[in-house]
Amino acid sequence: MYYRHADLAQAKQFLEDFGMHVAYTENDGKKLYFAGEGPEAYVYIAEQAEKSEYMGGAFLVESKEDLELATKLIPGASKLHAAGPAGGYRVTFQDPDGSPVNLVWGIEETGPNKSSISTPASNHPLDKPRLGTFVRYDKHAPCPVFKLGHFGLLVTDFQRSYDFFTKHFNIIPSDFLTNDAGEKVAAFCRIDRGEEYVDHHSFFFEVNHIRTGTHHCSFEVQDPDVQAIGHHLLAKKGYNQAWGMGRHILGSQMFDYWFTPDDFLLEHYSDSDQVNCHNPPGTLLQCEETIAIYGPSIPKGFGDAIPVISGKGPAA
């Protein structure tokens, strides 16, 4: 994910409390590359700017040839340019509503930090694999981010966006949401890898009549325990919670949403569904009952990614 922040120091503090760490710096510290515990060199770019601005999420392509092909096939796509301090290349284009999206290839990987991502076994009534060992966490530590799991956009025309993303990429639907009239208004999409199991959704888009642009980005974490610990740490530090904790229906993951100090929406999630070509897309009515199995009620403004506490709209 790539964002510009009007107050980079404030954004840095939030992202570290959210469970990331600075892996690279550029431009005399005015551009920070934040990593998680997974193999990616970085998962979030934060850049100092006069105003906060969303600069797009990124999809990894398999070859430089794919990246070059994108410059020819996607209307308005940029030329190849350097992706950042870990090497590789990036191409930027805009979705039909003008929101930036990035494609990357060739960024060096570091390998996962397995020492910080190790889930203890869980005991159940008829299956107790955890014998003579204890569950102990640092309750004062941030929840370590592992990887960027998905991001989503608010759009004006469902079919136009659906046609654009499914035409140019191997993006296919896992589930749809419809309005009361039966019209499709949201798609939760995965990367089509055939028989290979993949995350239920790596990308989503939803019709919105208030604004377009980013809705939220979401980062996978170890398990609901560390997720809950991270939740309480962020609350203790006074950050603006958006919604959570709870469990979603589409994707089944545990969710916890927070606003950055400049009102971008970020999520921790854990325990998400894995699907493949044998899982056909489903369709559900868009309402609170189909969004979460349990958790707090959806707060006012969440669908628009607008914080209620501050009373102001998002930065982009």
- Domain segments of the chain: what residues? 2-110+138-304
Q: Can you give the pLDDT at residue 309? A: 52
Q: Can you give the pLDDT at residue 313? A: 42
Q: Can you give the pLDDT at residue 315? A: 44
Q: Can you give the pLDDT at residue 79? A: 97
Contacts of 257 (CB under 8 A, 6+ apart): 216, 241, 242, 243, 244, 265, 266, 267, 302
- Domain 2-110+138-304 sits in CATH at 3.10.180.10
Q: What is the pLDDT of residues 72-117, one digit of tens each?
A: 999 999 999 999 999 999 999 999 999 999 999 999 998 887 767 7
d(CA 241, CA 235): 7
Q: Can you give the pLDDT at residue 314? A: 43
Q: What is the pLDDT of residues 226-281, one digit of tens each?
A: 999 999 999 999 999 999 999 999 999 999 999 999 999 999 999 999 999 999 99
Say yes or no to pLDDT of 119 above 80: no
Q: Can you give the pLDDT at residue 136? A: 84
Say yes or no to pLDDT of 179 above 70: yes
